[in-house]
Amino acid sequence: MGNETVYLNGQYLPLANAKISVMDRGFLFGDGVYEVIPAYFGKLFRLDDHLERLDNSLKSIRLQNPHSHEQWRNLLTPLLKKDLDQSVYLQITRGVAPKRDHAFPQHVTPTVFAMVSGINPHSDPDNGVKALSIEDSRWKLCHTKAITLLANVLLKQAAVDNGCTEAILFKNGYLTEGATSNVFAVIDGVLMTPPKSPAILPGITRDVILEIARKNNIPCSEQAIPMDELRKASEIWITSSTREIIPVVDLDDEKIGDGKPGALWKSLYKLFQEYKLSLR
C-alpha cells in the first residue's frame, strides 16, 4: 500500500504522496460526489453510462464537471493494467475553501482524485451470502452518488455486526436497495428490481442486467416490491460495479428458496461473464 499510482489534480503520483488540504470541503462537509467504474482487460466498462451518472450527480450538487467525457477517458486510462480486471474510484469535491462556511465558496477549483482497485466478483455457484433487512434511514437524494456516506456506513456495519454481507433497505414497507448495492428478486418467475427514483442509486450494473435479461427473453420488471413479497422470493441478488452479481441465500436468518444460489442467478452470471468477454 502506498506505491500504487493515483491521479490527483493533474498529477500521477504514488498514493503515499497524494495529499489534500484539511480545508478541502470534501473533508469538512462531505461536499462532493464519486463514481466507481469497472475496467476489464484494461478497458473502462460502460464509461459513457458512468460519466453520464457522474454528470447527473455533479448537477445535483451544483458543481460543474471539470472535464469532458473524452478527457476523463484519457485521464483515467493510464491508471489501468491491461492484464487485470480493476475498478476506478473517482472523486470530485468542491475544493479547498479559505474558511469553513456552509455556503458555496467563490472561485474555488474542484479537487479531483482517482485510484484503482481490484475486482473480485462472486463466482461460487454453490454458496451465496446472508443479508439483513433494515429501515432505510438515508437522505432523499440517494440517486446522487455523494461522498456523504455515513448513513450507508452505519447500515452496512449493522449488517456486518450480524454476520451478514449486506443490509437490504426498505422504506414505508417497500424495498429500496442495499447499503452498497442494488437489489433484484425473482418472484413468481419474474426478475424484479425497484424502479429508478431519488430513493435509489441508478446502478450501471443494474441496467446491464436488465439489458441482458431482455435480450435473452428472461421475464423482468422494474416495479415497487413490498418487503413481504421480497421475503417470498425464490431468489434475491445484490449487484454493484465491483462485486457484479451476488446471490443472497439468507435474509434475516430465513432461507431464500432452498438456501442455495438459484438457477436464474447461475444463468445471468454466465451471460454477464460472456458479455464482458465480448468486449475484449
Which residues are tagged catalytic?
145
Positive or negative, the CA dihedral 254, 255, 261, 265 is: negative
Contact call for residues 4 and 15 (beta carbons, < 8 A): yes
Reading the block at residue 131, the C-alpha cell is 443479508
The pairs formed by 106-112 with CB atoms below 8 angstroms and a separation of 24 or more are 108/25, 109/9, 110/63, 110/64, 110/66, 111/8, 111/9, 111/20, 111/24, 111/26, 111/32, 112/7, 112/8, 112/9, 112/10, 112/66, 112/67
- Residues in the chain, total: 280
Contact call for residues 194 and 174 (beta carbons, < 8 A): yes
Cβ-in-10-Å burial (0-12, 13-18, 19+) of 16 comes to exposed
Select from 12, 14, 31 the least CA-distant residue to 23: 31
Amino acid at 74: N
Reading the block at residue 193, the C-alpha cell is 428490481
CA 172 distance to own-chain centroid: 23
